[in-house]
């Protein structure tokens, strides 16, 4: 996500005419880095505005009690503007859908649409997915589908509608420009995962569609979970998916996954 501080303008209507004064400051674009984001609860996230030292404080000042709609800041998600701005903080938490508030020196914001996957890497090749927050998405938190050589680590994943971190294989024998579209060398380690009975399972792999029933994705393709930490205090009794079925904590580690690892009940 990015935030932009743009033109500040004042206009007065007089006898049918409009007189306008504009402070034409250059547009300032700042990137919201994932490691600087914290959860506020519900759909809301918080980011502390970190601006270059040469900028006057007034340029990046947010709304306050006396001026609840003074900020001209705009938040963008993948190039698309979010809104409405100046939203009540409780509304951002409860409803999300792109609402945001630039309040004093922080930005309280929400994603535009939480109905799909958080991070989805499909029919592709080598990738590293690291140091993200993937929470409260309608489907899975992080999904890798029919793609080899993907490493996932350092992520905080939880409260997603289905699985939190999930590997999937949809095809049999599909070959692309750089080789077969196959889930192999899927290395998931050192992530913090929270699962609950209401929000979906913790982690796993599922061959489906053309690959349904193929156990080689568990046995010979080097797909491994290790040293992850799972908060399962409100999770179902079988929050993992392995060897074509839902699995309990003991079954998951019995198959050698997350040994070592931490499963908290």
**Residue 42, pLDDT score:** 72
Give the domain-ending residue among 57, 90, 109: 109
Do 6 and 101 reside in the same domain of the chain? yes
Output the pLDDT for position 19.
27
Q: Count of domains in the chain?
A: 2
Asked if 245 and 213 touch (Cβ cutoff 8 Å), the reply is: no
Domain match, 212 and 184 both = yes
Say yes or no: 86 and 135 in one domain. Answer: no
Q: Look at residues 74, 109, 144 and tell me which one is the last residue of a structural domain.
A: 109
Tokens matching residue 64: 């306050």
Domain-located, residue 114: no
Residues 6+ apart with CB under 8 A from 92: 40, 42, 43, 44, 99, 100, 101, 108, 109, 110
Q: Is position 158 within any domain?
A: yes
Work out the burial of residue 182: count CB atoms within 10 Å of its CB; fewer than 13 is exposed, 13-18 middle, 19 or more buried: buried
- pLDDT score recorded for residue 162: 83
- pLDDT score for 182: 96
- Are the beta carbons of 158 and 231 closer than 8 angstroms? yes
Residue 100: its pLDDT value, please? 93
128 & 249 share domain: yes
- Are 46 and 150 found together in one domain? no
In angstroms, the CA 240 to CA 166 distance is 10
Q: Three-state SS across 140-156?
A: CCEEEECCCCEEEECCE
Q: Report d(CA 202, CA 215) in Å as an integer.
A: 20
Note whether residue 180 is domain-resident. yes
Residue 217's domain spans which residues?
A: 119-264
- For β-strands 165-169 and 203-207, DSSP reports them as parallel
Residue 229 belongs to a domain: yes
* Angstrom distance (rounded) from CA 118 to CA 194: 14
Q: Are residues 145 and 67 in the same domain?
A: no
Residue 82 lies inside a defined structural domain of this protein: yes
- Give the residue from 109, 134, 169 where a domain finishes: 109
Give the whole-angstrom CA distance, residue 56 versus residue 18.
29
Instruction: Say what the pLDDT of residue 233 is.
Output: 95
* Same domain, residue pair 163 and 231: yes
Q: Rounded distance, CA 230 to CA 62, Å?
A: 38
Question: Cα(68)–Cα(51) distance, rounded to whole angstroms?
Answer: 21
Distance of CA 156 to the CA centre of its chain: 9
Alpha carbons 170 and 66: distance in angstroms, whole number: 56
Mean pLDDT split into 10-residue runs, the chain, 265 residues: 52 30 54 77 82 72 91 83 92 86 91 77 95 84 96 94 92 90 97 86 94 96 98 95 96 98 97
Name residues whose C-beta falls within 8 Å of residue 159's C-beta, 6 or more positions apart in sequence: 135, 136, 194, 196, 199
* 237 and 148 within one domain: yes
What tokens appear for 98 in the block?
A: 């792109």
- The answer to whether the CB of 265 falls within 8 A of the CB of 202 is no
Q: Are residues 94 and 190 in the same domain?
A: no
Residues 16 and 85 in one domain: yes
């Amino acid at each position: 996500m990015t935030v932009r501080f743009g033109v500040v303008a004042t206009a007065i209507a007089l006898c049918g005419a409009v007189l306008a004064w504009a402070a034409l400051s250059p547009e300032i674009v700042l990137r919201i880095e994932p490691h600087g984001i914290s959860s506020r609860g519900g759909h809301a996230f918080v980011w502390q505005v970190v601006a270059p030292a040469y900028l006057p404080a007034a340029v990046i000042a947010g709304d306050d009690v006396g001026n609840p709609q003074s900020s001209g800041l705009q938040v963008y998600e993948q190039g698309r503007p979010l809104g409405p701005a100046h939203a009540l903080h409780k509304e951002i938490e409860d409803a999300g859908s792109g609402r945001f508030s630039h309040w004093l020196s922080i930005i309280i914001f929400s994603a535009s649409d939480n109905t799909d996957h958080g991070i989805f890497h499909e029919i592709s090749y080598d990738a590293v997915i690291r140091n993200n927050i993937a929470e409260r998405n309608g489907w899975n938190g992080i999904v890798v589908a029919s793609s080899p050589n993907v490493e996932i680590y350092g992520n905080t994943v939880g409260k997603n509608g289905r699985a939190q971190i999930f590997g999937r294989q949809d095809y049999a024998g599909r070959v692309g420009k750089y080789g077969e579209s196959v889930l192999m060398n899927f290395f998931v380690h050192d992530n913090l995962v929270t699962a609950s009975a209401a929000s979906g399972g913790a982690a796993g792999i599922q061959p489906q569609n053309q690959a349904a029933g193929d156990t080689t994705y568990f046995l010979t393709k080097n797909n491994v979970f290790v040293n992850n930490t799972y908060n399962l205090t409100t999770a179902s009794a079988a929050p993992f998916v392995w060897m074509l079925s839902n699995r309990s904590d003991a079954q998951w580690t019995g198959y050698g996954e997350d040994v070592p690892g931490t499963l908290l009940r």
